Structure 1
């Protein structure tokens, strides 16, 4: 036990003496957690700027503009000609341009079916979708109101007019993130990316540094003489500090008003499986490439596309099968799918067993790789 604690003390000294690892492991999760939480704290987009080009300038076109401006999502600016529209879009970043044609009101009265032109700025898909939906609701409501009003003027009772216009009703309801809060959807997933990255880098740099300084076998491994014990001692300090970081990240959920009613067993199991799998992955890279710089570069290549490949924002079902197979070799893919189930679907431990198995298979694979490389290096050292 004295030897064990002396090795742990040695690991602590090595950790605190490396300012880069300290900054990455302790600073990055908390700083990025707060920063990203602040970025997405609003949860939903609103007051998106749209430009209405009113070529008609009549009470009917004014009514359309009023209904657009009354929606929670949109903020309307008005122009009365198309002369300077391009410059207005560039300077104000409008998410949509709505053109009400000349003789709009007159054509409606004469049943000529005029057409409002809506051009959505899809440079950014998220506000574009919100803007398009807000415009559709506002103009659809106006359209229905005009038709019902026309029928009532012909003597059709209001109730009958509504029934004639609306053959059937549609009732929309949301489940799992009922408020469509973007913060609830994205923020926990980004925290998972950060956790994966800091653990992989910290463990990789911890091993690679000792190989670079040629102290691993002379000062450390000679005292343990066991690959599993060596990996455990090198990892346990980061696991303990990681548990503290997890608690601090957990405390940010009420700070940003993100509900966390997840099954404790399922959530903790996913976190532990993620940490173990990414730890072995980081160790394997540092053993195979015993250079801090090169190990960092390799892990950055793995980490950079991992969020895109994980299926968290773009579903795996829409990716080619070869890409899906690649995505399933990355721990983050399984973790984020399980996290979505736990946080949004109120899933229990049994529900996330497929994701846990995926994480443990990855951990087992890299653990075996680590053991093999350890043995090879140990034999070369003795030779």
Structure 2
């Protein structure tokens, strides 16, 4: 037990002597939290710059343009003479969307025919494209209904009759849990969790192999490998959970991102994820030959995890192979469940399966780390003993051969 405490405090001492390490482990995730909270604070795209080409310049087309101008989502920056100028403005970054009215737009309205307007967007950025299509369609639908109702009223119909004729089936929409489509609610958790994962696995991956470089293996030989791995796990668990708690507090209290689940659910779910990452890092540390490999390979393997986890792109949209590959990463079993937990307030009954998987990943990696590290320490020390004996007998050249 004394040896375990000695190893525990030695790990803390190692970290405290290297303040840059603690800065990276603690303040990088907090920095990303502040960055995401500030960037996504508005929660939606607004003032999307739109250009207009109006071949039918009239009061009706100006009515449509004014409706877009009054919408918080759009900013009409100006008129262009033709589509070539419009495309040039889009390439130069002056606009990201457009309205094009054909010459017969007003005439078709006057003659009771359907008049069409082109709603265009620069879909190089799909977020711009989807927002312009969705919000632009809402504006055009509202304007279209208003114009039709006015026409019917002018012909003697009442407003109610005109509305009933134009919209025989009324409907309204409701979005649960994120009614404003706030991007901050959707994206922030994932990026912050991924950052915590990258930082944590980086340092966990060198926690064991570093003992070889520092010459402490002889001291560790007398210590149970389970205690060795456990002592280091506790150190990084304390740091990671403290950092993650600070990030969560900032998201909730400073940036208004909700957390509807109970603290017990948050703590249990977060703990299992953190332990899965730490033990996976220690597993890499136990099997790889030096700190360079121990830090490089985990980062390479976990870099695709945010994409494969289904957080930014649904897992169900991936091919079968990638759906199976995604299950290897702890982030897959945490990020989606965590968002549901935060926004929907789901409890243990909804995430128990993911928690079991995270627990299994932690347990398997911990056991393998202990076993492999124990064998590796014995092998390394045996080689060192043979080398020492050879040196004493002046047989180094023969050993080298």
CA-to-aligned-CA distance 1:139-198 (integer Å, 9 cap, x gap): 111111222222222222222121111110111011012222111121112221122222
- Structure 2 match to 1:29: 29
- Structure 1 match to 2:270: 271
Determine the C-alpha separation between the residues in 2 that align with 1:214 and 1:270: 35
- 1:44 is the counterpart of 2:36: no
Q: Are the aligned partners of 1:16 and 1:22 in contact in 2 as well (CA < 8 Å)?
A: yes
Determine the C-alpha separation between the residues in 1 that align with 2:377 and 2:294: 20
Deviates more, 1:299-308 or 1:233-242: 233-242
Determine the C-alpha separation between the residues in 2 that align with 1:246 and 1:190: 13
- Structure 1 match to 2:129: 128
Offset at residue 334 of structure 1 (A): 0.4
Larger radius of gyration: 2
- Structure 1 match to 2:112: 111
- 1:262 is the counterpart of 2:261: yes
The 1:374–1:2 alpha-carbon spacing in structure 2 relative to 1, beyond 3 Å, is: closer
Q: Are the aligned partners of 1:24 and 1:202 in contact in 2 as well (CA < 8 Å)?
A: no
- Pairwise mapping of residues 1-383 of structure 1 onto structure 2 (< 5 A)? 1-18=1-18, 21-82=21-82, 83-211=84-212, 213=213, 215-219=215-219, 221-224=220-223, 226-253=224-251, 254-383=253-382
2:206 is paired with a residue whose SS is helix
The 1:165–1:100 alpha-carbon spacing in structure 2 relative to 1, beyond 3 Å, is: same
Determine the C-alpha separation between the residues in 2 that align with 1:121 and 1:137: 18
Determine the C-alpha separation between the residues in 1 that align with 2:198 and 2:237: 14
Offset at residue 381 of structure 1 (A): 3.3
Deviates more, 1:253-262 or 1:86-95: 86-95
CA-to-aligned-CA distance 1:187-220 (integer Å, 9 cap, x gap): 1122211222222111112223223x1524124x
Q: Are the aligned partners of 1:57 and 1:80 in contact in 2 as well (CA < 8 Å)?
A: no
Q: Are the aligned partners of 1:205 and 1:295 in contact in 2 as well (CA < 8 Å)?
A: yes
Determine the C-alpha separation between the residues in 2 that align with 1:3 and 1:369: 22
Offset at residue 92 of structure 1 (A): 3.2
Q: Are the aligned partners of 1:274 and 1:359 in contact in 2 as well (CA < 8 Å)?
A: yes
Offset at residue 292 of structure 1 (A): 1.8
Q: Are the aligned partners of 2:56 and 2:103 in contact in 1 as well (CA < 8 Å)?
A: yes
Determine the C-alpha separation between the residues in 2 that align with 1:374 and 1:7: 15
Q: Are the aligned partners of 1:64 and 1:142 in contact in 2 as well (CA < 8 Å)?
A: yes
Equivalenced residue count is 380
Determine the C-alpha separation between the residues in 2 that align with 1:55 and 1:78: 14
Offset at residue 306 of structure 1 (A): 0.3
TM-score scaled by length of structure 2: 0.89
Offset at residue 323 of structure 1 (A): 0.8
Deviates more, 1:68-77 or 1:34-43: 34-43
Deviates more, 1:123-132 or 1:63-72: 123-132
The 1:216–1:54 alpha-carbon spacing in structure 2 relative to 1, beyond 3 Å, is: farther
Q: Are the aligned partners of 1:45 and 1:73 in contact in 2 as well (CA < 8 Å)?
A: yes
Structure 2: stretches of 5+ with no match in the other structure: 383-401
Deviates more, 1:312-321 or 1:144-153: 144-153
CA-to-aligned-CA distance 1:48-81 (integer Å, 9 cap, x gap): 1111212222111110100111112111123141
Determine the C-alpha separation between the residues in 2 that align with 1:91 and 1:64: 25
Determine the C-alpha separation between the residues in 1 that align with 2:241 and 2:86: 55
CA-to-aligned-CA distance 1:274-325 (integer Å, 9 cap, x gap): 1111111101111111322222211111221100000112111111121111
The 1:80–1:278 alpha-carbon spacing in structure 2 relative to 1, beyond 3 Å, is: closer
2:221 is paired with a residue whose SS is helix
Determine the C-alpha separation between the residues in 2 that align with 1:77 and 1:214: 64
Offset at residue 348 of structure 1 (A): 1.1
Offset at residue 366 of structure 1 (A): 1.5
The 1:216–1:335 alpha-carbon spacing in structure 2 relative to 1, beyond 3 Å, is: farther
2:156 is paired with a residue whose SS is coil
Determine the C-alpha separation between the residues in 1 that align with 2:246 and 2:114: 60
